[in-house]
Structure 1
Amino acid sequence: MIKRILVPLDFSSYTETAIQTACRYAKFHQAEVTGMVILDVPGIEHSIGPVPLGGEEYAKRLETHKLKQAQKHIQMLLERFRIYCEKAKVKHREAEFQGSPSSSIVEEALFYDVVIMGLRTFFQFGDSNEPGKTLDHVLAHCETPIYGVPGTFNEPNWEKQDLHVLVGYDGSQLSITAMKRFIRMAPIDKIHIKLLMSHFDEATAKGVLQKAEAYLQACGVKKIEKAWTPQPIIEAVEETHGKWADIFVVGAHSKKGLFDFMVGSLTKWLIKHGQKPVFIGQQ
């Protein structure tokens, strides 16, 4: 069970998906959603660029103008978040921060059960349409699970059909942690889990997968599949198993950069592919 969900807000379709997803899980768990906005002061200062001799006063006025503009955008974001949560009848709150977006998210995430944010982020100030590096930085330092969402995605209606969850599993502490953290959040009686393991030896893989299956059964999961493949994990997901999944569950090492061998390489590939939600259980 989860009680607090953090949603960092930016002006993108990814944030729209994140808010929708957060509200759905909040209703299921009777949890609270926090919409987080960040006034990127360092980014605004950087956007002004070098100040020529005698241009200090102009630069100061420009910075003040950009700060006011950013504040206006922030209030618009909060209003959109508030309206959606009220329509969904979800308990919510708003939080405003100043500073680096990635650092602010990492620090605030310590007090939440999960962070739901876009697989692409657009926190940077200015007119650039290119995604920023905030997610990479958050993953490198945040110990709270991250639920990354694409820009457009319609998650299955839990009341009408199962939620297909593909777990990239290798028996490591990393993959076990990711699986256990997802189970805390998942609608247990609505999910169909497939445990996928890439290994050269089928007998070894089956033994490892059986232990994971036993844990999931103890947690109340009714629909569980075990899948072994001798293929590299990314090839197996791309060619066969990825089409089946609605959500991917994988692991990542926080404070060690991106990422560990095998499961970590799958994590990087899924984020880059960016078509379906990815639950990333940090360790």
Structure 2
Amino acid sequence: MIKRIVVALDPDQDTPIATRYAIRLAKRFDASLTGLAVVDTSNIQPVISVGAYGTEVYGHQIWEKMEEESKEIAKRLLDSFSGAVQKADVKHRKVTRHGASFEMIVEEMKYHDLLVVGRDSHFFYNEPDKDTKTLANVVKNGVSPTLVVTDAYHDVEKLMVAFDGSSPAARSLQAFVHLLPYGSDLDIELVNVTASNSSEDVGEASVILSQAESYLKEHRFSYVTKVVLDPGDVGKRLLERQLTKNPDLVVMGAHSVSALRRATFGSTTHFMITKSEGPLFLSP
């Protein structure tokens, strides 16, 4: 059950949509919302270069100006969030944190059941297009599931679950089932991209999907279908299926990555977040 939802606020066009998703869920569960704005001083400091004698004071002035600008943007974001939530008559609070964005968001996730966030959010208010990799760090290091939304709202009735039997995929499926954000009366399609067209690989994929189907039906999800997709790039196959079937939400695992790319998603997750036509439900 969902009783507390945190919305990470950013000056991008996805944030009002994230707020709308959060409001609908809050009304469904009589839950409370937290609007979180982060004045990211960790990203402000590295952009200031202190050079020869006499420039240190100037550098400090730049830092103070950028911090004040970030505080003002944070205030506007919280005011906008509060206005939307009050209009919907939903319980809420406004929180401002100072520090590294992903650390502050992860800290709030410890005391919330769900994070809702826009996929284009970077959380560096002074340079909104700067890729801070905050979203990747949040999903991988957070303790609650994340609903990543795009710039359009969808009522959730049809679901696509990308399931390969891995631990990340299982964690996301279980988190969705346990939270029941949209109830159990959903049209669910379980999807697996097979490694090859060999009878052995197709059979293995079918067994994995059957196990997931059984799990869902035990939890009273009655409308479940399964499809094994042809081999190929997993992200592209999933996107093709999404564009063909047009589900309202995709559930998938935030797959682990190599030591050389600790700050980013696995390639499939990154591809789907970048290209997806709709929201994604991910769990650490």
Q: Return the TM-score normalized by structure 1.
A: 0.87
In the alignment, what sits opposite 2:186? 191
In the alignment, what sits opposite 2:166? 172
CA RMSD of aligned residues (A): 2.4
Establish whether residue 266 from structure 1 lines up as the match of residue 268 from structure 2: yes
Moved more, 247-256 or 222-231: 247-256
Establish whether residue 281 from structure 1 lines up as the match of residue 283 from structure 2: yes
Instruction: Provide the secondary structure at the position in 2 that maps to 1:18.
Output: helix
Report the CA distance shift for 1:48/1:114 in structure 2 as closer, same or farther (over 3 A).
same
Q: After TM superposition, give the deviation of residue 178 of structure 1 in Å.
A: 0.9
Q: How does 1:1-283 map to 2 (within 5 A)?
A: 1-127=1-127, 129-150=129-150, 152-156=151-155, 163-183=157-177, 184-199=179-194, 200=196, 201-232=201-232, 233-244=234-245, 245-253=247-255, 264-282=266-284
Q: Distance in 1 between matches of 2:56 and 2:109?
A: 37
Instruction: Provide the secondary structure at the position in 2 that maps to 1:270.
Output: helix
Percentage of identical aligned residues: 27
Letter of the 1:202 counterpart: V
Q: Return the TM-score normalized by structure 2.
A: 0.86
Runs of 4+ in 1 over 6 A off after TM superposition: 254-259
Q: After TM superposition, give the deviation of residue 12 of structure 1 in Å.
A: 1.0
8 Å contact kept, 1:141–1:255: no
Report the CA distance shift for 1:172/1:126 in structure 2 as closer, same or farther (over 3 A).
closer
Q: After TM superposition, give the deviation of residue 24 of structure 1 in Å.
A: 1.1
Q: After TM superposition, give the deviation of residue 256 of structure 1 in Å.
A: 7.0
Report the CA distance shift for 1:265/1:70 in structure 2 as closer, same or farther (over 3 A).
closer
Point out where structure 2 has 5 or more consecutive residues left out of the alignment.
none
Q: After TM superposition, give the deviation of residue 128 of structure 1 in Å.
A: 5.1
Report the CA distance shift for 1:254/1:4 in structure 2 as closer, same or farther (over 3 A).
farther
Instruction: Provide the secondary structure at the position in 1 that maps to 2:112.
Output: coil
Q: Distance in 1 between matches of 2:281 and 2:171?
A: 12
Q: Distance in 1 between matches of 2:258 and 2:114?
A: 20
1:158-212 superposed Cα distances (whole Å, 9 cap, x missing partner): 6xxxx22111111233222111111224312442110001224333333222221
Q: After TM superposition, give the deviation of residue 52 of structure 1 in Å.
A: 3.5
